[in-house]
Structure 1
């Protein structure tokens, strides 16, 4: 078997799997022939048709219209959709040539239409005694030639049409559906005026109007089809005029037009609803895709933020430990070392030696307690049982006893409980400032002022020591002082505060720290 026949057989089997398509292609015309043949007047001779029975004329009319509709609309739309979707182009890469595919479709369509014709001829002859053509072979040959001509025109339309949908309009007038429909209705009206039985074929105007007309033209086409069909049902122009039932024709036509228009409206609304649903689903799909992309991006950002937060937490904890070690252990060890050095110089003075050793022991014990509190991240011991002014006063008193320097604390404003971070920052600032005085200033007097204002709490530490140049750079290139001043400045800035250092050689030093007055529990 040749490839053309094998492909034709395959296409035919695929075609026969669609029951609805098979019904309209093969069974609709024969069923309609049976229905019309059951009407007695269709089997009787008609004087208006020259003594010919209407059922006899129905057969060639339906056959011609069926083959024309199938060739000019169905096949042209199918072939144009093949070209539009690139089916024929892709076939060039397969063993099936595009010409073989087109030939198989044409051969299948010809065979199916020939089967339909033979079925109708058989039903007409056996059931209604319709005379067969005198030369059946010539009739079938003419039919095949007509079908071939129609198929050729359908191929031409498929080649010229830009899309499969535009090729679906009938014949070469596919791009002018309104002109085509108007011409078809004019022809149908003329046929109905000559022979009312042609009104049965006018029903095709309803699907054509809905398929090819748009907007209000669709309803106008349905109304025109209804009026022509009503004229055919009522006996044509001659019958209506003889019975003087023009008003009945108008009423029947209007009722048919209203019913057809209502049906068109409901179908159109359903089509619009389906279109909106498809658009909504498409939009929902795009939105979901964007949402998934945004969620994936947010997940990535969240992961990066978590990593950054963890790194920031580790860095912050390291800085806290460094500040606490400097403010507690380092200062305590420095104090112990100072007391031990003083004890070495007073070995021949038992009372002074005992005092220095006792101070060194107390400093070591306090440093141990502060080290434990630093590890557990709790507030300093002096703040655990006292308010901030009392805690700074106790630190100043003990510092004064150890270093033999007069120290005075002055408190102004409403001394009220502050947030733990505020009190710890000011206490550590006071401790570091006093430690710097002991190490560098050689001062004879130190004054501390703790001021409570409405929105700020300030601590000023002043000494009358040797002073220094704040703008001078250290050996490491830093202009911010040693770790003590830098640590104080970082502590204060963590609370959005401000640290100012004023000094000059021989003029003493003044340190001022100002932090927001955050009440106890106000920023937890």
Structure 2
């Protein structure tokens, strides 16, 4: 990840600081030496001693600062740099005693006290440097009361000023370190965020693929249910009526009745097939409410299959979500189709009950019960016929429940319960 501008500025400042620490001591040593030789070198102060100490200072700086600049500020090299600072201050003190003009060079003690010593130890370094510079400013060490008073005033002033600067520098350094830590943490957080976003993009793409596949599967199941509940049931009814007509060919009245029923079922199946393709509601629910549509379904089923059937509606009828009404109508169709196929019943009762927050549909017959391969004793919806499986799928889509009870010789009862106010967007998700 690209580094922030704030981090770049801190790095630039640090590089400039290292360059200054490497050049300033040489400049100040040269300036002090030049002034000592050219401007004023008091008698009795050997030039050889000045040259030796000045050369020692130059060698010390060259070894520790020029050749090994990376030692400065490193914790594992701190001991060596403390030795360097002590030696540098001793050399500076010796030069100041030889000539106070070397107080210019002694000032570098402040630089390296900040750069080398950790934390509060810097105060010790700047205090020693302040005493050396105070001696240079006083013209040498005190020799009497007046010079001692002057030296003391200068020492206090230098120590106070250098100590304040050192303290503020320490506080600023801590703030910079804290700021850099925050910047590094933010950069790391941004890296993790970018990684998470890339992972989320991958997951999002995967979810889109899964959602697309689920949509395709859901649409296939919807079409399969519609085909089963309309075309397949209609064709089964047509086949039944044509078989009955074949058996009654010698009785013209019965033959015509069965043929007319087969024609009616064929027309209805064609209409339902077209409506399924257009994905609109079933014809019985268009222009009528659910109780009327169920009543018409029960009446026509009873007439086609010659089985007594009756619808009872309890509670106050209320409008339901269109998909809930379609579900209840299709469940009633499938239940009556199963009665016609398997039950051999003589009587069927259909009950539609409106309650405060639920609606139930019960279909009961007095037949022989469901075959073992279709009955609830098989235990799992996957072992049922496609009709019962489609029934469960429809009911699940509207957040409802299905119960099937069947006993040989007693009959079958199918009970469906759905919410009166179903959240179809949530239930279908």
User: TM-score by structure 2 length?
Assistant: 0.81
Residue matched to 1:307:
209
CA contact (8 A) 2:398 2:422 kept: no
Q: Verify: 1:220 aligned to 2:124, yes or no.
A: yes
Q: Verify: 1:384 aligned to 2:286, yes or no.
A: yes
**Which whole-Å CA distance do the structure 2 matches of 1:252 and 1:469 have between them?**
114
Q: Verify: 1:414 aligned to 2:316, yes or no.
A: yes
Residue matched to 2:54:
62
- Counterpart of 1:174 (choices 69, 80, 92) is 80
How far 1:367 moved relative to its partner?
Answer: 0.7
- Is there any run of 5+ residues in structure 2 with no aligned partner, and where? 1-17
Matched pairs, number: 408
- Counterpart of 1:502 (choices 393, 405, 410) is 405
- Name whichever of 402-411 and 281-290 sits farther off: 281-290
SS in structure 2 of the partner of residue 236 of structure 1:
coil
CA contact (8 A) 1:168 1:174 kept: yes
SS in structure 2 of the partner of residue 434 of structure 1:
helix
Matches within 5 A, 1:235-384: 235-239=139-143, 241-242=144-145, 244-384=146-286
Q: Tell which structure's C-alpha radius of gyration is larger.
A: 1
SS in structure 2 of the partner of residue 250 of structure 1:
helix
**Which whole-Å CA distance do the structure 1 matches of 2:22 and 2:126 have between them?**
27
**Which whole-Å CA distance do the structure 2 matches of 1:359 and 1:395 have between them?**
14
SS in structure 2 of the partner of residue 513 of structure 1:
strand
Q: 1:167 to 1:430 in 2, by over 3 A?
A: closer
CA contact (8 A) 1:73 1:168 kept: no
Residue matched to 1:109:
none
How far 1:448 moved relative to its partner?
Answer: 0.6
Q: Verify: 1:400 aligned to 2:306, yes or no.
A: no
**Which whole-Å CA distance do the structure 2 matches of 1:415 and 1:373 have between them?**
26
How far 1:262 moved relative to its partner?
Answer: 3.8
Residue matched to 1:487:
390
How far 1:377 moved relative to its partner?
Answer: 1.8
Residue matched to 2:359:
457
Matches within 5 A, 1:12-161: 28-36=28-36, 39=39, 42-43=40-41, 45-46=42-43, 50=44, 52=45, 58-75=50-67, 77=68
**Which whole-Å CA distance do the structure 2 matches of 1:348 and 1:404 have between them?**
20
CA contact (8 A) 2:402 2:417 kept: yes
How far 1:351 moved relative to its partner?
Answer: 3.7
SS in structure 2 of the partner of residue 416 of structure 1:
coil
**Which whole-Å CA distance do the structure 1 matches of 2:331 and 2:385 have between them?**
14
How far 1:308 moved relative to its partner?
Answer: 1.4
- Counterpart of 1:202 (choices 95, 106, 112) is 106
User: TM-score by structure 1 length?
Assistant: 0.68
Q: Verify: 1:517 aligned to 2:420, yes or no.
A: yes
How far 1:266 moved relative to its partner?
Answer: 4.7
SS in structure 2 of the partner of residue 70 of structure 1:
helix
How far 1:36 moved relative to its partner?
Answer: 4.3
Q: 1:263 to 1:393 in 2, by over 3 A?
A: same
Q: 1:370 to 1:310 in 2, by over 3 A?
A: same
**Which whole-Å CA distance do the structure 2 matches of 1:510 and 1:72 have between them?**
98
- Is there any run of 5+ residues in structure 1 with no aligned partner, and where? 1-17, 82-160
**Which whole-Å CA distance do the structure 1 matches of 2:338 and 2:392 have between them?**
14
How far 1:332 moved relative to its partner?
Answer: 0.8
